[in-house]
Amino acid sequence: MTNADTHPKSRRDAEARDGADPLRAFKDHFDLPEGVIYLDGNSLGPPPKAALARLRRTAEEEWRRGLITSWNEAGWIDLPKTCGAKIARIIGADADDVIVCDSTSANIFKLAAALLAKKPGALAYEAGEFPTDGYIFQGLAAFAGAPITRLDPQAGAAGLHPEISVLIKSAVCYKSAAVADIAAWERAAAQTGVSIIWDLSHAAGLIDLDLQSTGAQYAVGCGYKFLNGGPGAPAFIYVARDMAQNLRQPLAGWMGHAAPFEFADAYAPAPGAQRFACGTPPILSLSALDAALDLFETVDMAVVEEKARTLGDLFLTRAAAMGLGSISPQPGARRGGHVSLRFEHGYAAVQAMIARGVIGDFRAPDLMRFGFSPLILHYADVWDAADVLENILATQEWKKPEYSVRKTVT
Ligand SMILES: *Cc1c(COP(=O)(O)O)cnc(C)c1O
């Protein structure tokens, strides 16, 4: 996958590519507003039609009519596991080794605390890592009295050393979309006795992951990004079966108990990943996620990753012709589902694009981030989005004062 020259070179080219694209029809499974090209990066996946229908059913029938019987009759109590099994397929794990619960932030805490208790040492994260990952590690370090180490990302896996207990590391960098070599990191981790928690937030549902064969033992990730589970959808946690037996997580709630409905006084952890569950699962959110995950049932993740890269190649090549630099892997290189372009007035330019129906996002200080979710985008959409960006730069439309007013969520 190093051929930089495989992306469409004209709109006609893009249309031809769409005609031959095995993922083309997936767009019809999503409910996107007319006239919008959704290039969010991908902080919130758009709604699958099936997820919206499922939400209505869960609210109207299961909750309204079934009331508390729905925990059994509608299978609510099993949703963390059934969703976990569907995610397991997407990330290359065993069905039993993934459980859906809580947020990614909370899952990082639970997993890191359990690993730290097993092997005391430093908690490590790389400079420039997604903020919550670093914050949670800092908080846990202060709470547990453990040292904290911030690694230089340039050093890569060579930065690992035996004093480190746990490293949190994104599989796809949220800023650049650089993809980590999981197998290489795991080899270095095995030599130094470090446990790596892979943060798959920008990787799950996008990259062709095979956690088992790459030796990854611990992972967390979001349900609302490329998995399209809806705003605030619960996150997941993966623990390789052999490892879970030795881990005690600190938020030992009843949903992680071996037999929650025996109401025993003493805590006994459930087998496997289930022990990382804590309290009552959010059924409305889980229902939407469960329906959204079904879209992946027939999807070949290698095809998804390849299309994301080609869409990104197209956009990067167009952006380079506009004089815009990028911090993302260059055309032809392995990359996650987004590209980040440098532009001093990036915030205003993204706002101007949104006003024209092309939704991207902005990451401080100067990055315009555009996501290319292969299930919802056609090549022609990405070509058209590049036209809009080109026009906004050429006309300096971004200079309109309303585009510089900062909103809370960027
Ligand atoms: C989106 C994202 C998160 C978000 O965590 P929440 O607890 O869902 O807010 C965490 N880590 C990474 C790498 C992310 O991209």
In a shared domain, residues 184 and 276? yes
In angstroms, rounded to a whole number, what is the distance separating the alpha carbons of residues 278 and 300? Answer: 33
Count of domains for the chain: 2
Active site residue 225: yes
pLDDT score, position 2: 46
In angstroms, rounded to a whole number, what is the distance separating the alpha carbons of residues 218 and 243? Answer: 9
> Does any domain span residue 115?
yes
Pocket test for ligand 1, best of 136, 170, 174, 227 (most atoms within 8 A of CB): 174
The residue among 233, 265, 296 that closes a domain is: 296
pLDDT band at 3 (very low <50, low <70, confident <90, very high): low
CA of residue 345 to ligand 1 center, whole Å: 26
Q: How far is CA 388 from CA 27, 319, 382, in A?
A: 21, 11, 10
In a shared domain, residues 309 and 398? yes
> Does any domain span residue 162?
yes
Q: Indicate whether 133 pLDDT > 80.
A: yes
In angstroms, rounded to a whole number, what is the distance separating the alpha carbons of residues 214 and 305? Answer: 17
**What does the mean pLDDT of the chain come to?**
96
pLDDT tens for each residue of 227-286: 999 999 999 999 999 999 999 999 999 999 999 999 999 999 999 999 999 999 999 999
Write the CATH number for 322.
3.90.1150.10
In angstroms, rounded to a whole number, what is the distance separating the alpha carbons of residues 122 and 193? Answer: 12
pLDDT tens for each residue of 318-343: 999 999 999 999 999 999 999 999 99
DSSP string, 174-242: TTT--B--HHHHHHHHHHHT-EEEEE-TTTTTTS---HHHHT--EEEE-SSSTT---TT---EEEE-HH
Ligand 1 in reach of 174 Cβ (< 6 A): yes
Tell me the two tokens of residue 168: 């949190």
Percent of the chain with pLDDT over 70: 99
Shortest-distance atom of ligand 1 to CA 104: 7
Pocket test for ligand 1, best of 130, 220, 226, 409 (most atoms within 8 A of CB): 130
pLDDT tens for each residue of 15-33: 999 999 999 999 999 999 9
pLDDT band at 406 (very low <50, low <70, confident <90, very high): confident
In a shared domain, residues 333 and 259? no
> Does any domain span residue 45?
no
> Does any domain span residue 48?
no
Active site residue 369: yes
In a shared domain, residues 207 and 171? yes
pLDDT tens for each residue of 20-77: 999 999 999 999 999 999 999 778 999 999 999 999 999 999 999 999 999 999 999 9
The amino acid that residue 380 corresponds to is: A
> Does any domain span residue 23?
yes
In a shared domain, residues 175 and 226? yes
In a shared domain, residues 252 and 305? no
> Does any domain span residue 234?
yes
Evaluated on CA atoms 227, 29, 64, 70, the torsion sign reads negative
CA of residue 108 to ligand 1 center, whole Å: 10
Top-confidence residue, 239 or 408? 239
CB 15 within 8 A of CB 344: no
pLDDT score, position 160: 98
In a shared domain, residues 218 and 285? yes
The pTM of this model reads 0.97
In a shared domain, residues 234 and 307? no
Ligand 1 in reach of 105 Cβ (< 6 A): yes
Q: Whose CA is nearest to atom 5 of ligand 1?
A: 104
> Does any domain span residue 46?
no
30, 38, 130, 238: the catalytic one is: 130
In a shared domain, residues 251 and 346? no
In a shared domain, residues 279 and 148? yes
pLDDT band at 410 (very low <50, low <70, confident <90, very high): confident
Parent domain of 359: 4-30+300-404
The residue among 296, 330, 361 that closes a domain is: 296
The residue among 268, 296, 324 that closes a domain is: 296
pLDDT score, position 23: 98
Q: Indicate whether 385 pLDDT > 60.
A: yes
Percent of the chain with pLDDT over 90: 96
pLDDT score, position 36: 96
Q: What is the mean pLDDT of residues 381-410?
A: 94
Write the CATH number for 108.
3.40.640.10
Q: Whose CA is nearest to atom 1 of ligand 1?
A: 201
pLDDT band at 1 (very low <50, low <70, confident <90, very high): very low
In a shared domain, residues 193 and 275? yes
Comparing CA positions, the residue from 358, 355, 352, 406 lying closest to residue 382 is: 358
pLDDT score, position 9: 94
In a shared domain, residues 144 and 12? no
Active site residue 224: yes
> Does any domain span residue 42?
no
Pocket test for ligand 1, best of 42, 44, 104 (most atoms within 8 A of CB): 104
pLDDT tens for each residue of 290-314: 999 999 999 999 999 999 999 999 9
CA of residue 63 to ligand 1 center, whole Å: 29
CA of residue 8 to ligand 1 center, whole Å: 32
Q: Indicate whether 357 pLDDT > 60.
A: yes
